[in-house]
Amino acid sequence: MLVNVEDGTLTKLRGNPDHPVTRGFLCGKVAQYLEREYSPQRLLYPRKRTGKKGEGRFERIGWDEALDTIAKKLGALADEFGPESILPYSYAGTMGLLNGSGMDRRFFHRLGASRLDRTICSSTGGAGLTATLGFRYGTEPEQFSRAKFIIAWGANIHGTNVHLWPFIVEAKRNGAKLIAIDPVRTRTAALADRHLRVNPGSDLALALGLMHVIIGEKLHDGDFLEKFTNGFDALAKRARAYDPERVAALTGIAKEDIVQLARDYATVRPAVIRANYGLQRSERGGAAVRAIAALPALTGSWKEVGGGLQLSTSQAFQFNRKALEMPELGPKARTVNMSELASALTTLDEPPVKAIVVYNSNPAAIAPDQNRVLKGFRREDLFTVVLEQFQTDTADYADILLPSTTFLEHTDIYLAYGHYHLQLARPAITAPGEAKSNVDVFRELAGRMGLEDQCFKDSEDDMIRALLNSGHPFLQGITLERLDRERSVRLNVPTPFLPFAEGDFGTASGKCELDVPDYVPPVESRFGDVALRTRFPLELVSSKNDDSMNSTFGNRDSVDKQTSVLHIATEDAEPRGIRTGDLVRAFNERGSLVLTAEVDGVVGRGVVRAPAVRWAKRSQDGRSVNALTSERLADMGGGPTFYSCLIEVEKCGD
C-alpha cells in the first residue's frame, strides 16, 4: 500500500504497483479506509461505564485512571480467584504480529491468565491441511495465471480474495476454465464457467465422489502416489463406496456434473484448487479439507507450475514465535476455546471467568450462540476491558473502554494472507486524540502491575528482531534493516515455488497422508437429526459479506444494509408467503432475529444465506445472525460450525 500524507494528514491510499501480487489496487474495503481513519465515530479517549452493561453510556477519563483501575482490578481478582479467572479474547482485528500476538501475550502469560485457543476462523482447515500435507503451504497466486483448470471450492475469490482475481482473468484469457463449488451464488460463482451448487457441509462427500471417478477410470498419477504418499489403497477402497449416484443425492450436484468435474480436473493440466475457509465451518470441515488437499497428490498436479492447491501459505512464515510471545513467562494455565465463549462466560467454573480483556475482536457480534454470549457480558461481576477504534457491540458492555490505533498509526510486521511476501509498516501519521497501540497499552499495564521483566521494556524493533531470528532458511537474510529499506520482501522460497513437486511433505513420514474418513452428514443439515430438521428445515449459511471483514466495518451504513438481509429461494419463499422486501423472522431453539427477505436466486432450495456479520446494536431486535449459530465444534482443530445451522423462517406480521 502507498499513502499520501500532506501536513500530517492522510489524503490518499492506493495499492503499490510494484508489488507482484497486489499490483497497484486495493480491495473495496480498504480503499475506503480514510473514511474510517477520520470518522467522527472514532474512539479517541479512555472512558468508563456510567450506565448499565450493554447501554453503551460512558464518561471520559484519563489514561492514568483507566490503567490504574484495570491494574488494580485484575490484581484483586487474581488474588481472590486465581489468575486463570482472567481471560484475554482477541483475534485478527489486526493482522500485525506485534499488536496481535506480541506484548499482549507476554503480559497474560506472565500474569498466569487463562490462555485462549484462537479457533474462530481457520483452525479446522489448518488442522486438516496439516494432517494431509504436513505444512500449511500452497500454490502461489502468481502461478494461477498458468493454470488451465481452476476450481474455486468454497472460495469467493472476486469478493474476498480480490488480488488473486487478475491472475484468474489472465488464465481465462489463455483458455482456462473456472469452476465454482459453493452453496451460494457468490460474485465468483456468477463469473465462473460453471457453478456447482453443493449442499452445505457435504464437501467431503463430493471430494470422495471425485476420487471414485478418478481412481475408477485410472486417471490418477501412480508414480507420484507410489513415491510420495501413504494410504492410497485404503483411500481407493473408501472411494469405491462414493459412486456418482450416491454423491449426487448427498451433495445436490447432478451425477453427470460430478463425473465431468472429476475427468476435467484429472486431465486438463495444469489444474489448481483455491479452497477457502467456508468449507471447513461445518461439522465435517476438517475431513473435507483433508480430502480436498489429497486431490493434487492423487493427480500429481503438485509437479506442475500452475497446479496444486492453495488454502493457506501461513506456515511458510517461519518466525520465532516463542521469542515474541514468551509462553515460558508464566505457569501452565487452562486453555479456553474462543468458539465456546458463551459457555466460558456462563458456566465455566473453578475458577469462573471474572475478567475479560477484549482486543482485535468483537465477540458480542461474531461469537456463536450470541444470546448466551450477551448473557455473560451482562454479568455485573464480570470486569470487562475493551480496546477498540469504534464503539462496537462488545464495547457497549465494557467497564473500561480504551482507544486503539489503526495500522496506519503504529509499527508492525505482517505475514501475507495467501502469498509469500513479508511486510513491515511504520506509522504514516500520528495517532489522533489519545489513542494508543496495543503494544503500548500492555507494556504500561505490565509496569503498573509490578511486572519488571526486561521483555516488557522491549521496543517494537526489539520484538521484530526476535521474531525474525528463527534460523529458518525461508527467513535467511531478512532483517529489520532490509525491511525498513524495502518494506515488502519475498520469503526465500524458489520462483516458481513448487513445495511438494518432489514430495517433501511435512508429515512425520515425509509423505502426503491420504487417510480420508467416511462422510457423515452434520447433525444440523438436511440429512442430519430428523426431529431437528422437521422443526427447522432450512440450512443457514452465514458466509462473509463482500464489503466488510467480519464485523470490522459494521458502522458503515452500506455494510449494515448488506448484512441485514436473508437470501431465500423462490421454492422456500412462496409457501411461506414471503416476497423480496418483506421483514422475516429467522429462528431456531437458540434465538431469533429480523431480516429483510431477498428472493433472488442466490441460494437453492432448502438453503438460506445471511451475509455476516452485522452489528447487532444496529438491528431492530439487537441481534446478529450469531443468535442462531451454535457452539458445536468441528471434527478437527476445535473450530466453530457456523455453517451447520438449521433454522425456520416466517414472515413478520403486518
**What confidence tens digit (pLDDT) does each residue in 60-109 have?**
999 999 999 999 999 999 999 999 999 999 999 999 999 999 999 999 99
pLDDT in tens, 25-43: 999 899 999 999 999 999 9
Closest C-alpha to 506, from 135, 228, 137, 136: 135
Cα separation, 447 vs 456, in Å, equals 8
Residue holding cell 484448487?
273
Considering Cα of 379, then 384, then 390, then 394, what sign does the dihedral take?
Answer: negative
Cα separation, 317 vs 328, in Å, equals 22
- Which CATH number does 124-311 carry? 3.40.228.10
pLDDT in tens, 295-347: 999 999 999 999 999 999 999 999 999 999 999 999 999 999 999 999 999 99
In the predicted model, what is the mean pLDDT of residues 456-472? Answer: 98
Check residue 408 and give its pLDDT: 98
pLDDT in tens, 248-302: 999 999 999 999 999 999 999 999 999 999 899 999 999 999 999 999 999 999 9
Quote the cell numbers at residue 365: 457480534
CB under 8 Å to 556, separation ≥6 — which residues?
32, 35, 548
Contact between residue 271 and residue 299 where contact means Cβ atoms under 8 Å apart: yes
* H-helix segments, 63-202: 63-81, 97-101, 103-111, 123-133, 157-160, 165-173, 187-191
Closest C-alpha to 650, from 572, 559, 590: 572
Q: Which residues of the chain form CATH 2.40.40.20? A: 530-651
Strand locations in 473-524 (E): 488-490, 512-513
Burial class of residue 577 in the structure, from the number of CB atoms within 10 Å of its CB (0-12 exposed, 13-18 middle, 19+ buried): exposed
pLDDT in tens, 183-204: 999 999 999 999 999 999 999 9
Check residue 654 and give its pLDDT: 59
Closest C-alpha to 290, from 311, 320, 307, 313: 311
Question: HSE (CB half, 13 Å, CA atoms) of 406?
Answer: 22
User: Does residue 427 have a cis peptide bond before it, meaning omega lies within 30 degrees of 0?
Assistant: no
Closest C-alpha to 523, from 605, 608, 632: 632
pLDDT in tens, 502-556: 999 999 999 999 999 999 999 999 999 999 999 999 999 999 999 888 999 999 9
Check residue 548 and give its pLDDT: 87
Q: Which residues of the chain form CATH 3.40.228.10? A: 124-311
In this structure, which amino acid lies at residue 197?
A: R
Q: Check: CATH 2.40.40.20 for 530-651?
A: yes
Closest C-alpha to 562, from 570, 572, 553: 553
* pLDDT range class, residue 640, cuts 50, 70, 90: very high
Architecture of the domain delimited by 42-120+325-490: 3-Layer(aba) Sandwich (3.40)
- Is it the case that residue 620 has pLDDT exceeding 90? no
What is the percent of the chain where pLDDT is above 70?
100
- Is it the case that residue 417 has pLDDT exceeding 90? no
Q: Which residues of the chain form CATH 3.40.50.740? A: 42-120+325-490
In the predicted model, what is the mean pLDDT of residues 404-421? Answer: 96
Cα separation, 73 vs 595, in Å, equals 40
- Is it the case that residue 602 has pLDDT exceeding 90? yes
Contact between residue 114 and residue 87 where contact means Cβ atoms under 8 Å apart: yes
In the predicted model, what is the mean pLDDT of residues 109-121? Answer: 98
Average pLDDT, the chain: 97
pLDDT in tens, 358-398: 999 999 999 999 999 999 999 999 999 999 999 999 999 99
Burial class of residue 165 in the structure, from the number of CB atoms within 10 Å of its CB (0-12 exposed, 13-18 middle, 19+ buried): middle
